[in-house]
Amino acid sequence: MLGYFRKWRERRILQRHPILEPAWQYALARCGPARRLPATAQARLRVLATLFLRDKSLEPVQGLELTDDMRTLLAAQACLPIFNLGLTWYAGWHSFVIYPGLFAPNRQTVDAAGVVHHHRSVMAGESWQRGPVILSWESILQAGSPPGHNVAIHECAHKLDMLNGEANGFPPLHMGMDMARWTQVFHAAYAQLQSLHSAGEPLPINVYALENPAEFFAVASEAFFEIPAELQAALPEVYRQLCLFYRQDPLNH
């Protein structure tokens, strides 16, 4: 019975709140991973993006005004990681807060002596556990430039990582996936990138991946969707594990 009502609700949303063709074409023109999908997969992504836009609240700040085109582009990017997982993987939180450009939230830390320090860091995106995803619209538009960059996918990957606790690069794996193998592959790849970086060699993915294991998973996820051939060539075992986790292969849709 619950399944019946869920499907009825989804049909109702698709009938009453469809993504119009101009907005969808705007999104495809600015989202390389979606544009590369075959037509049938694009249609499925459009359905998922439609449901996403009814499920999540997109909240512009600092005078930003979101058009249907802008909302559709964000939805298309955010739905790529859950294309074969489903919208329930984004359950437990409700909103995207969207700044016009980069933002610099005020943070405070307390040192060992009890002194409070205030500091600001310029950011393009941020994810809070059981809270919102915060994004820069300017950075959303810059997806794919430089190659491999996609702030929406990055922050949504953090959200998936947080489903089983704090972000640590170890999201909840599917039944049949080998936890020991995941750990081995990601630790080995992380060490490989560290060695390349120490030697002054260019990295196949953004150097921000070396911040910590959580950022490695998020940056690798960006590359998985944006530059899959390059990721597969440079880190084939990481690519394989991400295929298993996301239940898709961007090189063989």
For the stretch 111-147, pLDDT in tens is 566 555 445 677 888 998 889 999 999 999 999 999 9
Residue 154 lies in a domain: yes
When divided into structural domains, the chain yields a total of 1
What does the pLDDT read at residue 100?
95
Residue 82 lies in a domain: yes
Residue 251 lies in a domain: no
In this prediction the pTM is 0.92
Q: For 163-172, what is each residue's pLDDT tens digit?
A: 999 999 999 9
Residue 98 lies in a domain: yes
Residue 160 lies in a domain: yes
Residue 26: give the domain boundaries: 2-246
Q: For 181-228, what is each residue's pLDDT tens digit?
A: 999 999 999 999 999 999 999 999 999 999 999 999 999 999 999 999
Residue 225 lies in a domain: yes
Residue 188 lies in a domain: yes
**Cβ-Cβ contacts under 8 Å for 55 (sequence gap 6 or more):** 87, 90
| CATH at residue 56 | 1.10.472.150
What does the pLDDT read at residue 4?
58
Residue 139 lies in a domain: yes
State the average pLDDT over residues 38-46. 97
